[in-house]
Amino acid sequence: MISHVSIQGLDEVEKLLARVKNGSKKATTRALNKGLSKAKTVAVDTIYKEVNLTKTVIRQTITERKATYTNATCYLRARDKRGVPLYDKSKAWKIKGQVPGMHFGGRRSQKGFSALFKRRKGRIQFHEKFKQAGFVATMANGHTNIFIRTGKRRANPRKGNPRDESIKGIWSSSPPMVLQDEERMGPVLQSASQAAQAELDRQVQLILSGIQGL
């Protein structure tokens, strides 16, 4: 997603803060992290306009690495390329027949499940797309999701089970993939750079004023 935050004038900052122990590192690190924080905010807002998820869930799909005094590397990355499952595990459902918690405005009717993955696109009816209703299941590893049958038999079918077909969980594409578009990524990078630059100037002034006050 975002591999770095651009800042200008670092050589000048080192000269100005040469008398202060770790002064340049302190100012630069705080500026980078300010820019990264701004980038994440703008990225989440941008994704939210496209993907039908709450901002809280979108934030959970992004991994953030902050800069430190010893390592100036900072970035934002997609946490999981697989995306977000239709099933929402944060919304418990225990009563038989109750509608399970779902992301993407998921609904369940007598025909099956449906969801609106992209805000500007139509709702997907899974019983129409896959010719089946779908069902909720928990796998052996504890992962719960809404699945559809693929119509293909398992590689190692179990004996005596006539419906031993492979199943496929319903997932969205990874929300941060929206930012692969240069038109959407441009404002994110620009906001990060502007925030970092402003914070760098602020930190330099704070440190210099501290020296002058001694």
40 inside domain: yes
Residues 28 and 77 in one domain: yes
188 inside domain: yes
Q: Please tell me the total count of domains within the chain.
A: 2
Residues 186 and 201 in one domain: yes
Average pLDDT of the chain, as a whole number:
86
Write the pLDDT tens digit of every residue in 137-172: 888 888 888 888 777 777 666 665 556 777 888 888
Rounded Cα distance between 178 and 1, Å, is 10
pLDDT score of 190 = 95
pLDDT score of 93 = 67
Residue 107 CB partners (closer than 8 Å, separation 6+): 99, 113, 114, 115
Task: Give the mean pLDDT of 68-72.
Answer: 93
Domain that holds residue 120: 107-169
Write the pLDDT tens digit of every residue in 104-116: 998 887 777 889 9
Residue type, 40: K
Q: When comparing pLDDT for 189 and 109, which is higher?
A: 189
Residues 146 and 112 in one domain: yes
